[in-house]
Structures are given as structure tokens and as C-alpha cells.
């Protein structure tokens, strides 16, 4: 069984989707072994505790230099024997040490079909606002590995979601979460734990 460590900062709806999928037996050969929060008051910690999942808190502001924080987070993840790290609404930038130590082992969920509406400055409601401003008819979500380019790592799974007349950013955000994010994030984590993802030339091949 691979150890899944989830990084959170807020309410933890994507964490809940992972927990629910785990409880349904949909995450094969892996278990959520720890939840680490950048915010001691994050409701995601309560979700973890309600499911008897160990928790830790590590705050960027507790470290004078970013490199110190980068080292501390890397060491914390290693101490938890993390096989895969999942970003579930983690609002602190990851440093190069963490990214290199867990190359192609950090999975993020982004609320658009990358390469649309992604990269620097595109997060949360801003992504959906941009999609509506552009007038695209289809958006969605992307589960991808994390590298040092913002939203630039190898794509694992994408799922499309229809944009409807009269959508607001908030309505669209909810639909993308329910129809795409909460489905493909657990699936991507399971594929990783089952050793079914091959990465080559910044692209993935999913094995049957």
C-alpha cells in the first residue's frame, strides 16, 4: 500500500472527495496516511480527524527564509514516507527542493482544461471568471503532476464540463468540482498507486 499525503489550506472539499473514494474502495493499493495543512484553522484538518487520519501543520510564516520552509516541508514529507503527495487546495508555493525530491510524485488538480486558463495568477474563481469572459463553451478540470512551471507538469487525466447560459463564476466552480475535480483527482491518485502512469517527455501514458 502506498502512502498518500495530502496538502491542504482550507475547507478540504477535494480532500473529502479523496476520503469518500477511499471509503468506497476506489483508491487501489494506496491509503491516505497523513494530511498536512498550511493553516492551523483549516476545516480540512477536521475532516481528516473525523476519519482518523493523522494531521500536521506547517506554516510558511514560521520560517524566516523560504529555503528553510522548503527544507522543512521536504523533511516532513519524507518523515511520513510519502509515496505520493496530493495538493488539495494547498495555497503555499512549493519550493524546488520538494519538487525535485518528489519528481512526478506530486499531483495537483486544476479547475480548467490545461493549457487553457492556467499558470501564474489562475486559481480559484479567477479561472472560472476567465473562462466565462472568453466565452468558451466547454471547460473542465485537469489532474497533473507538479513541476517547477506553474500548471506545467505532465497531464494525467482531464474531464470536460459544459458551460451553460447564465452561469456565474460561483455556479461554474461548483459544477466543475462536482462533475470533474472530485471524480478525476481520486482516479489519478489510484492510477499512481497502481503504478499505471508512465511519464516520458513531459507526457503521461496510462496503462490498462
Residues marked active site are found at 110
Long-range CB contacts (within 8 A, 24+) of 67-71: 67/95, 67/97, 69/95, 70/94, 70/95, 70/96, 70/97, 70/98, 71/97
Buried b (16+ CB within 10 A) or exposed e, 155-171: bbbbbebebeeebebee
* Grid cell at residue 127: 479561472
**DSSP, residue by residue, 85-129:** EEESS--SPPPHHHHHHTTT-EEEEESS-TTTT-STT--THHHHH
* Grid cell at residue 6: 495530502
Beta strands 106-110 and 138-145 are antiparallel
How large is the C-alpha radius of gyration of the chain? 16
* Grid cell at residue 188: 489519478
Amino acid at each position: 500500500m502506498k502512502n498518500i499525503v495530502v496538502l491542504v489550506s482550507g475547507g478540504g472539499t477535494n480532500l473529502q472527495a479523496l476520503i469518500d473514494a477511499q471509503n468506497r474502495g476506489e483508491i487501489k493499493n494506496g491509503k491516505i496516511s497523513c494530511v498536512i495543512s498550511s493553516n492551523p484553522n483549516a476545516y480540512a484538518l477536521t475532516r481528516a480527524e473525523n476519519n482518523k487520519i493523522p494531521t500536521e501543520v506547517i506554516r510558511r510564516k514560521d520560517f524566516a527564509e523560504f529555503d528553510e520552509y522548503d527544507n522543512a516541508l521536504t523533511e516532513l514529507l519524507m518523515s511520513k514516507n510519502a509515496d505520493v503527495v496530493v495538493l488539495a487546495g494547498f495555497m503555499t508555493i512549493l519550493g524546488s527542493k520538494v519538487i525535485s525530491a518528489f519528481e512526478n510524485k506530486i499531483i495537483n488538480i486544476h479547475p480548467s482544461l490545461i493549457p487553457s486558463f492556467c499558470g501564474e495568477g489562475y486559481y480559484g474563481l479567477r479561472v472560472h471568471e476567465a473562462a466565462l469572459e472568453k466565452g468558451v463553451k466547454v471547460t473542465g478540470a485537469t489532474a497533473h503532476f507538479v513541476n517547477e512551471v506553474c500548471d506545467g507538469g505532465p497531464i494525467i487525466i482531464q474531464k470536460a464540463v459544459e458551460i451553460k447560459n447564465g452561469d456565474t463564476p460561483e455556479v461554474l466552480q461548483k459544477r466543475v468540482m462536482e462533475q470533474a475535480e472530485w471524480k478525476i483527482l481520486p482516479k489519478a491518485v489510484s492510477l499512481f498507486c497502481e503504478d499505471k502512469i508512465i511519464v516520458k517527455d513531459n507526457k503521461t501514458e496510462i496503462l490498462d
